[in-house]
Chain A
């Protein structure tokens, strides 16, 4: 289970493991219960071919859509399965949307028209060598993480001895998507319950280990208070 935020920006490597660009966005097809990633947008640093056509000179910083079956997805990088000149870049189809451009930051409304938040991130999971959307991150933890403030979350986790979880709305509740309104409509009237919340730490399992290692100073008084509280309770 991963957040799109942690995938976008990954290095794209060629067959010889040389970096050729970065992942810019993911394209999903809106068919099925859980939409599947059908292609990725890669920003190539420089490229000599578009399709099989050689270019007069290398194109720099060009974004191309690469079908998902032409890449190999690994936790820390995306690897092209074929040579540059063999890549079949494509256009977006009518029923396809970009996760970063179209879904993230959209408003989520319940079936009775109440806004319950905006999409902070999209959670995806790997299944049978393909990526499927699991759900939409809408919680405060997601906002904090997206602002690059992971350390306060880890401090809280360690200080309180439990994991703070991000609220993720399972995609099965998504009824409709209105791209022109930047709005995602759910099939339910109430905010989704705890059963659809996933662990924030779990979603970051592929990430590099945190630089933050030593116990923070706020833990000490917290542990002390906790012990004192337990002693009092025993008495």
Chain B
């Protein structure tokens, strides 16, 4: 609510100051930006970094075109999602419950909870691995990180948490710097970006293409971005600024991913180093690109893990509360939204505790999360397409024919890729 007032008072001030229209638009964009950029940035979480590192380490610059291409489906789907939030003022879980009833909502939320829980565990694993590169034990790093997360969440409104997250977005620059420090072959990188090539007989390469695009769009993003647009009370008349925010988020996601692939291609691929996790990439970078580059990569890992470990529990608790009709949101006091805060804190504490267990098989947890996400995403995208075409919900902001053609093709493509990813994973190819 405070932000709601803030951005309207800012709008009035902007009008009184008689600034040029371009400064006026920029001012409003700066007030509204957040949901899209944060969603895009968190998309490059520990799982994402691992995928891009693996793509660069295994195939060099060959897959840079895939990273560039992935901007399109990401932008198209997230725009649709943000529009639903701005028009209805509700999160995705609420719209699913009101349009499709309890059963579908319940099973979708159970799947979301399981997938996000596994993801949060992976984020803490990233924090632990990144901290260990700096010589800090995971038994210190993980409890400190979880305590900080709980402190930030409990002590701040959604507006302040958004500011904290936007500051964390800046830390992704560490991957861009690592990309430069790795001294890539810019000519080959340009070729790999602008000249798409794929050998369909190379099953490993095809799987990696599918994995890169498949990890770009996840169910939690749909729930998170729409709920933040709704919680921020972005109105449809300011929607165009949210579209800029969404497109900026899509660009940032793939821009960072591009530099991760670039860094690992220039070092790990060149030296034939095979990696499984993002932490492996950080460790392997130290002897190949120097201590500073490796440290930057590890710092990025800790920061990405911390950011995602904040966003994912918020998104999960918000969606479940909204689906069941409980009060939710960081603007509410603990006493006003008990279920929301208890769920949120439980997710952080349990995930952090799991990481401290000995002999934890992180690869299996990631695989579990990827599979659940893969099964849930088609369902969510289809439900979104149905809702966005319902005039009773969206009014005159339903998809136009052109938008439907683009979104249906994109959704169908993403569904095919996601299902293929599950099949490839289980067929072991």
Contact = CB atoms under 8 A, between A and B. Distances in A.
A190 interface: no
B101 interface: yes
Contacts of B103: 146-148
B207 interface: no
A186 to B, nearest CB: 13
Interface in B286-344: 323-328, 336
Contacts of A146: 102-103
Contacts of B102: 105, 118, 120, 143, 146-147
Contacts of B191: none
Contacts of A148: 103
A108 B106 CA distance: 18
B106 A116 contact: no
B409 to A, nearest CB: 31
Contacts of B97: 105, 118
Interface string B145-175: 0000000000000000000000000000000
Contacts of B106: 143, 147
B327 A182 contact: no
Given A143-B102, A147-B103, A147-B106, A107 B336 contact: no
A118 B96 CA distance: 13
9 contacts: A107-B94, A115-B326, A115-B327, A116-B326, A117-B326, A118-B324, A143-B102, A143-B324, A146-B102
Interface of A: 104-108, 114-118, 120, 138, 143, 146-148, 182
B325 A117 contact: yes
Contacts, number: 38
B98 A105 contact: yes
Contact of B98 (A108, A114, A115, A182): A182
| Interface core residue of B101, B325, B336 (most chain A CB under 10 Å) | B325
| Interface core residue of A104, A107, A120, A143 (most chain B CB under 10 Å) | A107
B324 A114 contact: no
A41 to B, nearest CB: 17
Interface string B66-108: 0000000000000000000000000000100110011100100
A227 B186 CA distance: 78
Q: Is chain B's binding surface mostly helix, strand, loop or mixed?
A: helix
A142 to B, nearest CB: 9
A146 B94 CA distance: 18
Contacts of B101: 104-105
Interface in B39-77: none
A105 B325 CA distance: 9
Nearest to A118: B325
A6 to B, nearest CB: 15
Cβ-closest 9 pairs across A and B: A118-B325, A117-B325, A115-B327, A107-B325, A114-B327, A182-B98, A146-B102, A105-B97, A115-B325
A9 to B, nearest CB: 13
A116 B336 contact: no
A232 to B, nearest CB: 33
Contacts of B336: 114
A160 B25 CA distance: 63
Contacts of A114: 327, 336
B368 to A, nearest CB: 23
A228 to B, nearest CB: 32
B73 to A, nearest CB: 31
Nearest to B105: A105
Given A104-B101, A115-B328, A118-B102, 18 more contacts: A105-B98, A106-B98, A107-B325, A108-B325, A115-B325, A115-B326, A116-B325, A117-B324, A117-B325, A117-B326, A118-B323, A118-B324, A138-B325, A143-B102, A143-B106, A143-B324, A146-B103, A147-B103
Nearest to A121: B102
A105 B328 CA distance: 17
B207 to A, nearest CB: 37
A104 B324 CA distance: 12
Contacts of A108: 325
Interface string B3-41: 000000000000000000000000000000000000000
A104 B105 CA distance: 14
Nearest to B332: A114
Nearest to A5: B102
Contacts of A107: 94, 325
A82 to B, nearest CB: 33
Contacts of B327: 114-116
A115 B338 CA distance: 11
Contacts of A115: 325-328
Nearest to A104: B101
Nearest to A113: B327
Contacts of A143: 102, 106, 324
A114 B337 CA distance: 8
Nearest to A148: B103
Nearest to A120: B102
A201 B166 CA distance: 52
B300 to A, nearest CB: 38
